[in-house]
Every structure is written in C-alpha cells, then in structure tokens.
Amino acid sequence: PPTDPPTEPPTDDTVNLAENRPVTETSHTDVYRAANAVDGNADTYWESANNSFPQSATVDLGASKAVKRVVLKLPPAAAWAARTQTLSILGSADNSTWTTLKASAGYTFSPGSGNTVTITLPGSASTRYLRVTVTGNTGWPAAQLSELEAYTG
C-alpha cells in the first residue's frame, strides 16, 4: 500500500520564535502581564500602566536569530475599536545595548484586518532580545499587545 511521504519539521521562517519565551515588561495593569503577549492566544493581552509612556515588552529568543518579520496583534474581537499605536522595535545581543531595528512609527490595528500588524525589518537583524517600545495609543492611554511574534522569514 502507498505510504504518506514523511512530513518535514517546520522551519524557523514559519515558527513564531517568541512564543512561550521569557518576557519582561516595564509595567502592567491588573492581570494583563507581558507573558500574555507570547502565550499563543490572541484573546489574552498585555496592557501597561495607564498614562505612562513609553512602555516596553522585551522577549528573550534564547539565542541570536535573524529576525525578518515581527507580527503584533490585539484581541480579534470586534469590541476592540481601531486604534493606532506608535511604537519602535529594538534588538540586543545582551539585553543591555540596544539597536533600533524599526524606527518609531504609527501602526493601525483594525478589526477589519484582524487587529494584526506585520512589520518587516530591514535586512535580517540578528538579535537575541527583541523589544517593542510603545509611546502612544489612540484607543487607550496604555501599551497593548495580545501577541508579539517574531519570524526569520
């Protein structure tokens, strides 16, 4: 009888390098810790302290990776109105010296696009620590992310 060909393991370009990795935050509100942003569940989220920008979430990828794409999400529920968050993406080899991988800009999260934003990084930035720093949010006076995903492709 015919047999199915062996399945190939997923490659790094399709694997979310940040999922379930250690993450730190500058602050959080109530139960909305940064760990929610790397748990693989878009219905949970990190929310920083209110009225206190800038705010950051930093994920340890475990080893240096050539990150090419960062996907940021808010909960997909229509109850989350469209909003623009002003943010930058930084990288570090040692969690001490930081390089800007993507300069600060406004990114619109809209229910029509699943409240998802994809940011392509220039070149392939080799980084172990990936930080998202939020300096503004038109929908709420805090940083908000339900998922912070990193990919090599």
CATH number for the domain spanning 139: value is: 2.60.120.260
Residue 6 placed within a domain: no
Residue 36 placed within a domain: yes
SS3 content of the chain, % helix, strand, coil (to 5): 5, 50, 45
Residue 2 placed within a domain: no
51 by Cβ neighbours in 10 Å (0-12 / 13-18 / 19+) ranks as exposed
Please state the domain count of the chain.
Answer: 1
Distance CA 100, CA 25 (A): 18
Task: Please write the tens of the pLDDT for every residue from 65-75.
Answer: 999 999 999 99
pLDDT at 140 over 80: yes
Q: Which residues of 89-120 are buried (b: 16+ CB within 10 A; e: fewer)?
A: bbbbeeeeebeebbeeeeeebeeeeebbbebe
Residue 3 placed within a domain: no
> Which residue range forms the structural domain that includes residue 40?
12-151
Mean pLDDT of 114-143: 94
- Report CA Rg, the chain: 16
Task: Please write the tens of the pLDDT for every residue from 76-122.
Answer: 888 899 999 999 999 999 999 999 999 999 999 999 999 999 999 98
Residue 1 placed within a domain: no
pLDDT band, very low/low/confident/very high, at 11 (cuts 50, 70, 90): low
Higher pLDDT, 73 or 12: 73
- Quickly count: other Cβ atoms within 10 Å of residue 122's Cβ: 9
Residue 7 placed within a domain: no
pLDDT at 38: 98
Residue 106 placed within a domain: yes
Residue 95 placed within a domain: yes
